[in-house]
């Protein structure tokens, strides 16, 4: 008989666990596959290790360097994904289900590596500008910065996505220089243990930046302080218990919850059974019922349908569900696997019994449910189950009871107001879908639905070509919802990194603010030298290096010539009579001529370290420039970002943002913007 492996925790830089404890079984046939370990974890050691080793190790890197590590880690895990697929099979997941967990997880690492590289500085101070003048004389200003908290992040995850659940939290907290202690749900913790082993074997993680807890969290939460953060994904009941931990409350430890919720899909009254959108609705609901065997926090639990289309929706969904083959995913043709455990199977059955009271069962186990594969009789399979509630305003269970499996309920409505009221009865959800052809319906319904849902998908034929679907949280968009859904936020691009940083307002002179933020702040001291800033290599440039250009007087010929080149003959530039009747009282130069003229004033034309200008940010035209006005520009190195990249010839490059101020003969600001350039490194 083969030896059953004992899972181990990664604590204090070593693997802990040899003595077997709780048995874990395959969801496919209930065979014993792993044990958790019996050894107790010293959480004082874990917390101390994170603070004393993890924080300094992460702080030795800057945002850009940590982003580069994330990308390398994603590539490493992607190269070993088949090992993870083989283990994921034991959880009852199909290849498609596992793809969401495994490649969705590595994809999130890639996404945060890319966003961090594009949007974060090559330092550990993130400036939230612009700075604001707080005094009349320009010597006192204020702004905001975000800095690493100096604490650790405890990530407590659910059983349904043991890899993605860890990685989608790890990525932004790693970028924010917070060491992590990951605590997966025990039922599928073997998958989390496997991916954590790979992450450490990669050699890419600074020591102490990631620890793993298999089993109970013990007194871990009691050892945290105000510099730390706790995130949780799971049931609303467990979230409520953890949130009220006395130590978390006493020390104001941030707690973010993403809880299971009764998400809905609404079929708008403008869609008929003959429309493309009707079929899109049916397909989306069926996919969400059967994907991951319905074990998704975003799954559609309530199908809100106009009274006149209830029977058509029920018929079409029954037809689709009847074609879904359930069983061991290794059997050809199987499209839906098992629930994660026997406990989960019993829980879903109990909740379906509650939901069935007073409602009709349109499709379920009685409709020929027979899982495919050897030994599956002992597995954790559950039939797709579709119920019908004809009076959702009076039936509380459909809005309160969630069967966390392939279970959903059709709820009928009379008009759009009732549909939106039914959606809100879920008391807060992660996501809702509105299927409509009518932009006016969307414009009216979505703001109402958004008050009680974290995300709203509007689905119709145009969006369906590229839509990622109802149940797909994306790294670029916020994941989370109000009320029952936990009231928290995850993902959402760089917003998620900001959740793990500490925001502080700072006040002082522009020169001091520039020194702290690492960005030039207008009014701060500048350095001028005979060498043009565009002649300096990336390493040689310093924040505050500046050039004040010579002057240029704008003539009528300039305006006429620019109009001829650009094709812009707007009357403000060419019609003297019409221009006199405007607020300016005279003809003015094209704004883009002012930009072009400014570039002519500050550009150093010979080949050199500045390789390319690839964009403008924060462009504003402030004071109009008239014929006879004289302009000049000040070009100042605002910030440098070392993205640690080289070109195809092996030459290093960095990104430099330049602050540009164009003024007239009265020293009035006429144009203001940032130029972004690629600048060559010398070494």
CA distance 172 to 332: 38
pLDDT band of residue 287 (cuts 50, 70, 90) is: very high
Note whether residue 6 is domain-resident. Answer: no
The number of distinct structural domains making up the chain is: 3
Pair 240, 325 in one domain:
no
Note whether residue 278 is domain-resident. Answer: yes
Tens digits of per-residue pLDDT, 340-359?
899 999 999 999 999 999 89
8 A C-beta contact, residue 321 and residue 386: yes
CA distance 78 to 472: 20
- Residue 16: the pLDDT is 93
**Which residue range(s) make up the domain with 589?**
519-680
Quickly count: other Cβ atoms within 10 Å of residue 319's Cβ: 12
In terms of Cα–Cα distance, which of 322, 307, 485 is closest to 410?
307
Mean pLDDT of 286-301: 93
How many residues in the chain?
Answer: 683
8 A C-beta contact, residue 9 and residue 183: no
Mean pLDDT of 278-297: 94
Pair 310, 458 in one domain:
yes
Q: What is the DSSP letter of 185?
A: -
The residue from 409, 442, 476 where one domain ends is 476
Whether residue 459 is predicted with pLDDT greater than 90 in this model: the reply is: yes
- Residue 310: the pLDDT is 95
Average pLDDT value for the chain: 93
8 A C-beta contact, residue 445 and residue 266: yes
Pair 255, 267 in one domain:
no
CA distance 674 to 639: 10
3 state SS of 150: coil
- Residue 356: the pLDDT is 92
Note whether residue 486 is domain-resident. Answer: no
Alpha carbon distance, N-terminus to C-terminus of the chain: 61
Pair 228, 270 in one domain:
no
Pair 222, 272 in one domain:
no
pLDDT band of residue 2 (cuts 50, 70, 90) is: low
Tens digits of per-residue pLDDT, 634-664?
999 999 988 888 888 888 889 999 999 999 9
Q: What is the DSSP letter of 91?
A: G
If residue 155 lies in a helix (H) or strand (E), which one and from where to where? strand 153-156
Pair 532, 572 in one domain:
yes
Positions marked active-site: 258, 297
Q: Parallel, antiparallel, or unpaired for β 255-259 and 229-234?
A: parallel
Tens digits of per-residue pLDDT, 108-127?
999 999 999 999 999 999 99
**Percentage with pLDDT > 90 across the chain:** 79
Name the packing angle between helices 416-424 and 439-450 (round to 10°): 30
Give 563: exposed, middle or buried? Use CB within 10 Å, 0-12, 13-18, 19+: middle
In terms of Cα–Cα distance, which of 383, 389, 390 is closest to 407?
383
Read off the CATH number of the domain in which 330 is found: 3.40.309.10
Across 506-516, b (16+ Cβ under 10 Å) vs e yields eebbbbbbbbb
Pair 283, 223 in one domain:
no
In terms of Cα–Cα distance, which of 180, 59, 62 is closest to 116?
62
- Residue 159: the pLDDT is 87
Pair 463, 543 in one domain:
no
If residue 77 lies in a helix (H) or strand (E), which one and from where to where? helix 63-79
8 A C-beta contact, residue 139 and residue 509: yes
The Cα-based distances of 168 to 103, 165, 269, 493 in angstroms read 12, 6, 37, 11
The residue from 238, 259, 280 where one domain ends is 259
The residue from 207, 225, 259 where one domain ends is 259
Mean pLDDT of 601-623: 90
Tens digits of per-residue pLDDT, 531-571?
999 999 999 999 999 999 999 999 999 999 999 999 989 88
Across 18-50, b (16+ Cβ under 10 Å) vs e yields eeeeeebbbbbbbeebbbbbebebebeebbebb
Pair 107, 76 in one domain:
yes
Pair 242, 355 in one domain:
no
3 state SS of 669: strand
Going along 377-441, which residue ranges are E strands?
Answer: 385-389, 407-413, 429-435
CA distance 1 to 17: 22
Enter the pTM of the model.
Answer: 0.90
Tens digits of per-residue pLDDT, 561-600?
999 999 989 888 888 888 888 888 898 999 999 999 999 9
Tell me how many degrees the CA angle 580-582-584 measures, rounded to the nearest 5: 80
Read off the CATH number of the domain in which 668 is found: 3.10.129.10
Pair 184, 314 in one domain:
no
Pair 537, 637 in one domain:
yes
In terms of Cα–Cα distance, which of 401, 373, 377 is closest to 387?
401
């Amino acid at each position: 008989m083969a030896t059953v492996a004992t899972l181990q925790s990664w604590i204090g830089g070593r693997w802990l666990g040899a003595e077997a404890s709780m048995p874990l079984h395959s969801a496919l046939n209930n065979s014993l596959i792993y044990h958790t370990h019996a050894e107790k974890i010293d959480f004082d050691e874990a917390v101390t290790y994170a603070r004393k080793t993890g924080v300094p190790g992460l702080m030795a890197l800057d945002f850009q360097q940590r982003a580069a590590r994330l990308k390398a880690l994603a590539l490493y895990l992607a190269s070993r994904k088949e090992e993870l697929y083989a283990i994921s099979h034991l959880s009852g997941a199909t290849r498609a289900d596992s793809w969401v967990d495994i490649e969705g997880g590595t994809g999130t690492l890639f996404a945060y590596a890319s966003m961090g590289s594009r949007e974060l500085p090559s330092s550990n101070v993130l400036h939230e500008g612009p700075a604001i003048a707080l005094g009349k004389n320009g010597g006192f200003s204020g702004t905001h910065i975000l800095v690493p908290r100096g604490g650790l992040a405890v990530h407590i995850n659910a059983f349904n996505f043991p890899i993605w659940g860890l990685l989608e939290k790890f990525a932004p907290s790693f970028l924010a220089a917070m060491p992590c202690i990951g605590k997966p749900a025990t039922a599928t913790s073997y998958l989390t243990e496997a991916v954590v082993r790979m992450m450490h074997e990669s050699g890419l993680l600074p020591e102490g930046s990631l620890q793993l807890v298999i089993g109970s969290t013990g007194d871990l939460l009691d050892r945290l302080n105000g510099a730390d953060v706790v995130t949780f994904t799971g049931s609303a009941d467990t979230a409520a218990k953890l949130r009220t931990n006395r130590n978390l409350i006493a020390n104001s430890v941030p707690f973010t919850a993403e809880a299971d919720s009764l998400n809905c899909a609404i079929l708008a009254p403008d869609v008929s059974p003959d429309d493309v959108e009707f079929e899109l609705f049916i397909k989306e609901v069926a996919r969400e019922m059967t994907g991951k065997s319905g074990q998704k926090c975003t799954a559609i639990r309530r199908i809100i349908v106009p009274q006149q289309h209830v029977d058509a929706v029920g018929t079409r969904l029954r037809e689709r569900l009847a074609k879904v083959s359930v069983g061991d995913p290794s059997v050809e043709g199987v499209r839906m696997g098992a629930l994660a455990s026997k406990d989960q199977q019993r829980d879903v059955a109990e909740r379906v019994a509650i939901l069935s009271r007073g409602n009709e069962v349109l499709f379920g186990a009685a409709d020929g449910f027979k899982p495919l594969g050897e030994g599956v009789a002992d597995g954790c399979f559950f039939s797709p189950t579709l119920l019908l509630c004809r009076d959702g305003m009076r039936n509380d269970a459909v809005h309160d009871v969630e069967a966390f499996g392939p279970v959903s309920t059709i709820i009928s409505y009379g008009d759009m107001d009732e549909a939106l009221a039914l959606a809100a009865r879920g008391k807060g959800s992660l996501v809702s879908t509105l299927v409509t052809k009518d932009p006016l319906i969307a414009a009216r319904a979505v703001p109402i639905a958004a008050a009680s849902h974290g995300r709203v998908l509007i689905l119709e034929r145009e969006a369906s070509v590229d839509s990622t679907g109802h149940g797909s949280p994306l790294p670029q968009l916020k994941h989370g919802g109000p009320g029952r859904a936990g009231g928290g936020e995850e993902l959402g691009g760089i917003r998620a990194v900001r959740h793990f940083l500490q925001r502080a307002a700072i006040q002082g002179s522009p020169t001091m603010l520039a020194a702290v933020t690492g960005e030039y702040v207008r009014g701060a001291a500048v350095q001028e030298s005979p060498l043009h800033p565009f002649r300096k290599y990336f390493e040689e440039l310093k924040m505050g290096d500046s050039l004040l250009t010579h002057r240029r007087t704008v003539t009528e010929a300039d305006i006429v010539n620019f109009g001829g080149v650009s094709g812009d003959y707007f009357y403000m530039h060419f019609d003297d009579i019409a221009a006199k009747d405007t607020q300016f009282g005279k003809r003015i130069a094209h704004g883009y001529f002012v930009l072009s003229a400014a570039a002519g004033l500050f550009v150093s034309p010979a080949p050199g370290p500045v390789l390319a200008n690839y964009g403008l940010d924060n462009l504003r035209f402030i004071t109009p420039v008239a014929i006879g006005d004289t302009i000049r520009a000040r070009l100042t190195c605002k910030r440098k970002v070392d993205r640690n990249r080289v070109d195809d010839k092996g030459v290093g490059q960095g990104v430099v943002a330049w602050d540009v101020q164009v003024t007239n003969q009265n020293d009035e600001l006429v144009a203001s913007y940032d130029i972004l350039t690629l600048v060559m490194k010398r070494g």
